[in-house]
Amino acid sequence: MGDIIDPKHEALVLHVFGRICGVLDMRGFEFRPLRRRSRGVGKFRSITYGYTRIGQPLVTIDLYTPRTMKPRKLDAIIRVICHELAHHQSPPAIVRIGWKRVRMIHHPRFWDQYRANVSKCSEDELLRVYFSSPKEFGI
């Protein structure tokens, strides 16, 4: 496929995605890298790191930075995967704000689920390697 910039990076992310799904007990999800129409050309103001649709076991993640097309760090990719899987674990909530009923996608219980997912991944013996800890650098 001519659109793949770094096949080793994509294969590693696919392996890590399978491990994350195993750690979080969310089997059956499919991983798809985000493909851009024009790579590294023009203005890129998109801050979309990934997306998913509730009810479909598919997670799409952007593996490269938009302008320079460098591979993103695995720490950031793991956190985006945990974020997208948290959407399936804690679906959107209906909240009353004044007289309106609003559908909140990122509600407080969602962020608790996200933090729990990241802590489970950082405690795993194989995924622990990819997390950079400030204690390791003496900060």
Report if residue 55 sits inside a domain.
yes
Q: Tell me, what DSSP letter sits at residue 126? A: T
Percent of the chain residues topping a pLDDT of 70: 84
Query: What type of residue sits at position 45?
Result: R
Q: Is residue 139 part of a domain?
A: no
Would residue 71 count as lying in a domain?
Answer: yes
pLDDT tens digits along 73-110: 999 999 999 999 999 999 998 989 899 999 999 999 99
The stretch 109-117 carries a mean pLDDT of: 95
Residue 37, pLDDT > 90, answer no
Domain assignment present for 135: no
CATH of the domain at 75: 3.30.2010.10
Domain with 115 in it: 7-130
Domain count, the chain: 1
Among residues 86, 71, 72, 93, the alpha carbon closest in space to that of 119 is found at: 86
For residue 139, the model assigns a pLDDT of: 42
Q: Does the residue 1 lie in any domain?
A: no
Query: Between the CA of residue 18 and those of 38, 65, 122, 129, what are the distances in Å?
Result: 29, 22, 15, 16
Query: Does some domain include residue 138?
Result: no
